[in-house]
Amino acid sequence: MNQDTQLFKRWQQVRARSLAIAETLSAEDCQAQSMPEASPVKWHLAHTTWFFETFILETLEPGFKPFHPAFRMLFNSYYDAVGEKQVRAQRGLLTRPSLEQVIAYRHDVDARLQALWQQQTSTPWADLLELGLQHEQQHQELMLSDIKHLFSCNPLLPGLFVTALPEPHWASPFTWQSYQASLLEIGHSGKNFCFDNEIPRHRQFVEGFEIATRLVNNGEYLAFIEAGGYQNPALWLAEGWDSIKSEQVRHPLYWHLHGPQWQEFGLHGLQDLDLHKPVCHLSYFEAAAYAHWAGARLATEAEWEYAAQQAKPPQQLFDHCWQWTSSSYAPYPGYQIPAGAIGEYNGKFMVNQYVLRGSSALTPAHHTRATYRNFFPATTRWQMSGIRLARSLSAEQPEEA
Amino acid sequence: MNQDTQLFKRWQQVRARSLAIAETLSAEDCQAQSMPEASPVKWHLAHTTWFFETFILETLEPGFKPFHPAFRMLFNSYYDAVGEKQVRAQRGLLTRPSLEQVIAYRHDVDARLQALWQQQTSTPWADLLELGLQHEQQHQELMLSDIKHLFSCNPLLPGLFVTALPEPHWASPFTWQSYQASLLEIGHSGKNFCFDNEIPRHRQFVEGFEIATRLVNNGEYLAFIEAGGYQNPALWLAEGWDSIKSEQVRHPLYWHLHGPQWQEFGLHGLQDLDLHKPVCHLSYFEAAAYAHWAGARLATEAEWEYAAQQAKPPQQLFDHCWQWTSSSYAPYPGYQIPAGAIGEYNGKFMVNQYVLRGSSALTPAHHTRATYRNFFPATTRWQMSGIRLARSLSAEQPEEA
Amino acid sequence: MNQDTQLFKRWQQVRARSLAIAETLSAEDCQAQSMPEASPVKWHLAHTTWFFETFILETLEPGFKPFHPAFRMLFNSYYDAVGEKQVRAQRGLLTRPSLEQVIAYRHDVDARLQALWQQQTSTPWADLLELGLQHEQQHQELMLSDIKHLFSCNPLLPGLFVTALPEPHWASPFTWQSYQASLLEIGHSGKNFCFDNEIPRHRQFVEGFEIATRLVNNGEYLAFIEAGGYQNPALWLAEGWDSIKSEQVRHPLYWHLHGPQWQEFGLHGLQDLDLHKPVCHLSYFEAAAYAHWAGARLATEAEWEYAAQQAKPPQQLFDHCWQWTSSSYAPYPGYQIPAGAIGEYNGKFMVNQYVLRGSSALTPAHHTRATYRNFFPATTRWQMSGIRLARSLSAEQPEEA
Amino acid sequence: MNQDTQLFKRWQQVRARSLAIAETLSAEDCQAQSMPEASPVKWHLAHTTWFFETFILETLEPGFKPFHPAFRMLFNSYYDAVGEKQVRAQRGLLTRPSLEQVIAYRHDVDARLQALWQQQTSTPWADLLELGLQHEQQHQELMLSDIKHLFSCNPLLPGLFVTALPEPHWASPFTWQSYQASLLEIGHSGKNFCFDNEIPRHRQFVEGFEIATRLVNNGEYLAFIEAGGYQNPALWLAEGWDSIKSEQVRHPLYWHLHGPQWQEFGLHGLQDLDLHKPVCHLSYFEAAAYAHWAGARLATEAEWEYAAQQAKPPQQLFDHCWQWTSSSYAPYPGYQIPAGAIGEYNGKFMVNQYVLRGSSALTPAHHTRATYRNFFPATTRWQMSGIRLARSLSAEQPEEA
């Protein structure tokens, strides 16, 4: 099986999985949009298809005709170069086309891509197919985050999954692992796929530091709450303090207090809080405040990647939740925005966001890399975001003149 | 057929019509909420059922058990006396219960009401059944207004009705009909149903006035637009001027300009503008500005009711659209808020709203009365709201000392 | 002394009083604007002068030259026909011209008006001079309300007046006075000055009612608070309930609780609450909720004027504070908007406001009339607004058919 | 003259300069606050005094009594550890204390500090005096920026300075200076004063780059405008594009187009645009968009500091305006928040802000350093913020495996 065939098979699997995610959802579940930042599942299903139709078929299919002329605009997310787009906060108003029609759209585009594939002996568009596949995997995690948020807004607190909860495996002791100051190479190298924000691979100097071997867990975070963490401004970034006061935030997003018992809402519905499980659904501000309280700090993304490069990386690297780093999302030295509409994929978001590293329980299999840069604004809480602690090794300071 | 049996039959017809309205809509169409003021059709179907369950079954059914304990809160609109309620702007997030379950809820409550009816030889709750029936009729008009608004937010501009447009019948000449100053009785009397805001019947003195025999039509309103009506602050109430500037309002809500041709979106989809049809979907501010420009004013609700009491009332009294009056929504002299939760039906809304009189093309048959008081805030545009002009007869002024 | 000379003398007194109000204020006090609805004292001093310069000198002074060309725009309040205007919420940013220059502006315009007066044997502009004088009196009350609000925002809670508090005279018993149903004449008549919103005098029929002989006092209002009035939604208009919840209103605007002692801030600084004094600084919503709790309602403006026309009107008619009526601010039958820019004085505000009748401790002497219509939005609390109770005489209902 | 005496003399000079800045301003000018981000000059004068009273006198003065007990709260900027504080957006409402009283406050605190100085032979608080001095210098630049913004909101566009404009000296050619990849030491070292955010000095690796020898000037920026820079989303960060659209930004903050002539408002009033002068008053978004259009990017702060360390640094290093870097404001490796309230000086602001390097025409003499880190949110435009271009040397990329 040549590389192209492998790609095509992977592509088929990814496409199928999106439909599988939606399978236990009703058309109504797929319709609703719980907040401007989240999108309806139906929209995700259509937009990921739009990506292939717009960036591959529109250019390469002989005699291209759109499945529906309006879809180009309805399912454009943020590509100004493509033209007009549906207002983001109003994606949930598109009751037409129906879920059924969106699924037909998926099948039609898939069939045309397959035909195109077979007609072309060489595949100059393999890169775009790979990008679309990776793009769809990103949206698969978003579908699950977004449906979780939607269900959390419903007083019935319905669960999505009826299968058993995964076996807990988090009861490991908390230890530090230390790394000496070093001039590293950071960023993706090699021929495998990566996003444009992971390159160029380049050198960074990292002072000596320690990093926690596992993520902060619910029990530890509960201790922070019980110690008055949400009432003590000295622990917080000023903007974070203002934000938790105005939003009345007093615990992680999906926690509920039922009498004396903390519970956590998730895709399995409401569950008693597992104290050993990594704490999740925190804003950057909460993560930083916890770290401050614990006498530590968040890792930088270079530190995180340094640790991940080791023969024996810290535990829980790609595990229950993404890990906020203290690094703002910025281009790597020498970064070039790709030409054309695809250039809008990453570069234009490189401001006022913070990088998360690792992956989460909702990340698709094979969609993780040590160089992967996830990113969200500091206020974000509906993503699978947690805490890995770090601290500087003070002896590593350079000599002062 | 005794009166109670008639009531019961009417009730069955009204209940059936709500389902009929939803019949050509998909579960997705019934799910979405286009703005905080509008509600999803599914929510309307559930809330109108909740009304019967909460105000009749909960009190009178022996061994009452709710269909679902959470529905009491989920489908409470604004009755503080009943307890908690779903946040209005988030009704569209309730993807569970499904439309199917809501229809099952309707059938269950209907069956229990029918059983209760047959068990009770006397029917002390006929008044509540009648109120619920009228309440459901009000929501039927809202369902249609709300779905129209939802569809108008979809760039595909889908139509709901596939049947032919009604025959136009509006090409009547514009004339004035005059009424002498008079001490009238205003408000409902007799034993037939009315809402509490229509009583007590009481006396009002009305100075002499003239009222237009028909509503202002699209052609006349277009002349106002073309004369620069939306650019001339002298025609507008100050709050209206601020409002059209900040909202960038330049024509009625559902008008579209396609090249040189004005079109109007409605439940039949996009249609060329019929210049003879009454202009519709105007705010109070637009109605008042047009009247000012036309050298007239809006009628008061007493004037409107005076005219309606005549042997030969003005044309188009109960016709294509409701008619803004210049009367703010206020209690009639001697008005008493009914006891209990039902007291919240009308009284607590008697501030910062304006009364509309008449009825519209979307009002259910037999849901019109000359004493009927519809009411909305002055900014409202998604209701079927139009203009009937009036003007004072100056000779009617009292002598000055 | 002929009538014109009397007018001129009154005009001089009114002009002098505006400066007297500002006399104990610093230039800084006169600069600040505490909220968009309030204006700096300096702006009031300039705007009242602008009124004379724009509406009299600009038209009638031979060889008119403006005192400063920019003032026409800077001190225009809301007259679209005059042209551009300084954004209302940014009046407090005009540190130039200085208070000193504004006072020079006042003296210049006064001198030119006096010269014009002496040159013209007949005075066709007496009406405009009278209007400007009355306008300035309205602004004198606003200056005091606005400075009170400004000082209330300062944690030092400075007082403006150093003179003794007026002797309390409010300890009268609460009684009802009743009036039979009647067809009245309402509105101003005769040759004395009135605003355009007080005419035409016209007929209104009023059903029988009772009205309180005095205003609700602080002690009575405190009982409402202590009975949980601010926690009981059944007492409130729905919009009022939303408003007190979102604004966290729990007592009249300037009340402070110091330990167990209620105090009230005012132009004399912070004082212990006088339980016999009329309660003041309430929104329409608070006034209506109190009335509801007390088993009564607010009077309509016709009822208020009816009572005021009597030989023995209720006590405290023109007293400590204005009295919210349940009447929305609307044109009288036959009302004509005056021609020109002056037409913007009143008419364009006749929507979404409620009428207050009477006068207040801050109203200038001789600026009261039984036909006077003050008006503010229902949320307004920084004006001198209180409660007079009324109730319907139920026996007055007309016979039902 | 020993070091302490020098410090004391510098301190006296800095204190005197603050009053000198205010000298040509009226009490009214010093009162007004043009937006929440800016403060009244009077407040600056008081707050810089509060800093010395709270952090030195309160701790060290025997028998300390505050000048006024309320000032501790009124003039607290953002120190939660000190206690309550006046709401930032309402600083302009503090008409009391007067400017005169604030000046008396300054003199009183200065006298007490001088007395304390003379009593103590050793000066353990020299560090705090130095910090307060530097703090006051920061506020001197803010006073001028804030008064410029205030005056820009006044349609009269008054100038502050009556002296001649400084001689233009900007007409130098644009060239690039290149730097090889290097492992640097970044951050302050030595015994001279620096802020806590400038340490620890630490190592950073910088890939090879070029940096412009001078700042982008008005003429170059005008070319960007004329080339449609503000209409082309491809040049902008997504958040920047949204921001210029919603704020309707089309040119630098203080530019005005008078007919065909561009003018710039500043402390000398309105002046014709000098095309050779560095462009100023740009947001981070505008700076980044310009750089993108020019085929370049902003420098990182490490690159900037690298260049500044050279024997022959680029021109205009400390010149007309601060230079946006692409570095988000973050702690240096090993950064420790100082203990106590002083710890709130910098650390809690290290999120969602971008670093500016250099200094501006408004920066006090001797308040510049190559390690100085100024910082503001990306939307900030009222500060003296401009552009220095940089670009990566592509040959510097590390070898890929």
Q: What is the pLDDT of residues B45-56, one digit of tens each?
A: 999 999 999 999
Please tell me the distance from the alpha carbon of residue A144 to that of residue C139, in angstroms, as a whole number.
60
pLDDT of residue D71: 97
Is there contact between C and B if contact means ≥3 C-beta pairs under 8 Å? Answer: yes
Same domain, A211 and A342: yes
Residues of C in contact with B236 (CB under 8 A): 348
Residues of C in contact with D158 (CB under 8 A): 96
pLDDT of residue D18: 98
Considering only CA atoms, which of D151, D154, B237 is closest in space to residue C86?
Answer: D154
The two structure tokens encoding residue D319: 């010149």
pLDDT of residue A399: 44
Domain presence at residue D60: yes
- pLDDT of C400 above 60: no
For D70, the closest of C86, C98, C156 (CB atoms) is: C156
Question: What mean pLDDT value characterizes chain B?
Answer: 94
Please tell me the distance from the alpha carbon of residue C88 to that of residue C43, in angstroms, as a whole number.
11
Over residues B111-138, the mean pLDDT reads 88
For C352, the closest of B378, B392, B401 (CB atoms) is: B378
pLDDT tens column, B241-282: 999 999 999 999 999 999 999 999 999 999 999 999 999 999
pLDDT of residue C172: 86
Question: What mean pLDDT value characterizes chain C?
Answer: 94
pLDDT of residue D320: 94
pLDDT tens column, C224-253: 999 999 999 999 999 999 999 999 999 999
Which run of H or E residues covers position C209?
A: strand C209-212
Please list, in sequence order, all residues whose beta carbon lies within 8 angstroms of the beta carbon of residue A138, skipping any fewer than 6 positions away: A367
CA distance D279 to chain A (A): 22
When scoring C79, C179, C205 by the number of chain B Cβ atoms within 10 A, the one with the most, hence best to mutate, is: C205
Domain presence at residue D162: no
Please indicate whether residue A48 or residue C167 has the higher confidence score (pLDDT). A48
pLDDT of residue B168: 77
Same domain, B137 and B243: no
Same domain, A92 and A27: yes
**Contact flag C400-B190 (C-beta cutoff 8 Å):** yes
Query: Domain range for residue D20?
Result: 3-152
Same domain, B223 and B366: yes
Helices B126-152 & B3-22 angle (0-180, nearest 10): 20
CA distance B34 to chain A (A): 6
Over residues A302-313, the mean pLDDT reads 94
Domain presence at residue A11: yes
Residues of B in contact with A151 (CB under 8 A): 96
Phi, psi of C389 (to 5 degrees): -85, 155
Please tell me the distance from the alpha carbon of residue C370 to that of residue C187, in angstroms, as a whole number.
9
Please tell me the distance from the alpha carbon of residue D262 to that of residue D395, in angstroms, as a whole number.
41
pLDDT of residue A302: 98
Over residues C362-391, the mean pLDDT reads 97
- pLDDT of D397 above 50: no
Provide the number of structural domains found in chain C: 2
Domain presence at residue D58: yes
ipTM of the complex: 0.95
Domain boundary among C84, C119, C152: C152
Please tell me the distance from the alpha carbon of residue B286 to that of residue B381, in angstroms, as a whole number.
9
CA distance A259 to chain D (A): 33
Residues of D in contact with C96 (CB under 8 A): 28-29, 151, 154, 156, 158
Over residues A70-94, the mean pLDDT reads 96
Over residues D113-119, the mean pLDDT reads 90
Same domain, D100 and D182: no
Please tell me the distance from the alpha carbon of residue B357 to that of residue B284, in angstroms, as a whole number.
13
CATH of the domain at C208: 3.90.1580.10
Same domain, D88 and D225: no
pTM over 0.80: yes
pLDDT of residue C166: 74
pLDDT of residue B121: 60
Specify the 3-state DSSP secondary structure of A100.
Answer: helix
* Confidence band, pLDDT 50/70/90 cuts, at residue A103: very high
What are the DSSP calls for A23-86, one per residue? HTS-TTTTT---STTS--HHHHHHHHHHHHIIIIIHHHSTT---SSTTHHHHT--S-TTT----
β-sheet with B176-179: strand ranges across: B176-179, B209-212, B389-392, B297-298
Instruction: Classify each residue of C304-313 as buried b or exposed e, where b means 16 or more C-beta atoms within 10 Å of its C-beta.
Output: bbbbbeeeeb
Same domain, A321 and A284: yes
When scoring B24, B25, B26, B28 by the number of chain A Cβ atoms within 10 A, the one with the most, hence best to mutate, is: B28
**Contact flag B334-C392 (C-beta cutoff 8 Å):** yes
**Contact flag A396-D80 (C-beta cutoff 8 Å):** no
Same domain, C219 and C355: yes
CATH of the domain at C67: 1.20.120
User: Which residue in chain D has the smallest CA separation from C92?
Assistant: D32
- pLDDT of B135 above 90: yes
* Confidence band, pLDDT 50/70/90 cuts, at residue B382: very high
Least confident of A161-175, B11-25, B340-354, C178-192: A161-175
* A to B CB pairs, distance under 8 Å: 81
Same domain, C118 and C181: no
Please tell me the distance from the alpha carbon of residue A28 to that of residue A158, in angstroms, as a whole number.
14
Over residues D282-307, the mean pLDDT reads 98
Whether D307 contacts D314, CB under 8 Å: yes
Phi, psi of D111 (to 5 degrees): -65, -40
* Confidence band, pLDDT 50/70/90 cuts, at residue D283: very high
* Confidence band, pLDDT 50/70/90 cuts, at residue A311: confident
Chains with 3+ CB–CB pairs under 8 A to D are A, C
The two structure tokens encoding residue D187: 């951050």
The separation between the first and the last C-alpha atoms of chain C, rounded to the nearest angstrom, is: 62
- pLDDT of A395 above 70: no
pLDDT of residue D396: 45
Same domain, D379 and D267: yes
Report which DSSP code applies to B364. Answer: P
- pLDDT of B396 above 50: no
Q: What single-letter amino acid sits at B94? A: L
- pLDDT of D1 above 80: no
The two structure tokens encoding residue C384: 């001198």
Is there contact between D and B if contact means ≥3 C-beta pairs under 8 Å? Answer: no
- pLDDT of C264 above 50: yes
Same domain, C242 and C146: no
* Confidence band, pLDDT 50/70/90 cuts, at residue B123: low
The two structure tokens encoding residue B227: 């004369």
* Confidence band, pLDDT 50/70/90 cuts, at residue C350: very high
pLDDT of residue C123: 66
Instruction: Classify each residue of D136-145 as buried b or exposed e, where b means 16 or more C-beta atoms within 10 Å of its C-beta.
Output: bbbbbbbbbb
When scoring D180, D186, D328 by the number of chain A Cβ atoms within 10 A, the one with the most, hence best to mutate, is: D328
Domain presence at residue A313: yes
Domain presence at residue C171: no
Q: How many CB atoms lie within 10 A of CB B108?
A: 15
- pLDDT of C17 above 90: yes
Domain presence at residue B164: no
* Confidence band, pLDDT 50/70/90 cuts, at residue A1: low
Residues of A in contact with D350 (CB under 8 A): 237
**Contact flag A90-B153 (C-beta cutoff 8 Å):** yes
pLDDT tens column, C45-68: 999 999 999 999 999 999 999 999
For C81, the closest of B234, B284, B400 (CB atoms) is: B234
- C-alpha angle A298/A302/A308, rounded to 5°? 90
User: Which residue in chain A has the smallest CA separation from B84?
Assistant: A155
Least confident of A306-310, B166-170, B189-193, D72-76: B166-170
Percent of chain B with pLDDT over 70: 97
pLDDT tens column, B314-372: 899 999 999 999 999 999 999 999 988 889 999 999 999 999 999 999 999 999 999 99
Domain presence at residue D68: yes
**Contact flag A398-D202 (C-beta cutoff 8 Å):** yes
Considering only CA atoms, which of A202, A157, C313 is closest in space to residue D392?
Answer: A202
- C-alpha angle B202/B205/B206, rounded to 5°? 125
Specify the 3-state DSSP secondary structure of D285.
Answer: helix
CA distance A270 to chain B (A): 16
Q: What single-letter amino acid sits at C355? A: V
* C to D CB pairs, distance under 8 Å: 81
For C348, the closest of B185, B206, B237 (CB atoms) is: B237
* Confidence band, pLDDT 50/70/90 cuts, at residue B1: low
Same domain, D307 and D201: yes
Residues of C in contact with D90 (CB under 8 A): 153
Whether C344 contacts C78, CB under 8 Å: yes
Over residues A5-14, the mean pLDDT reads 94
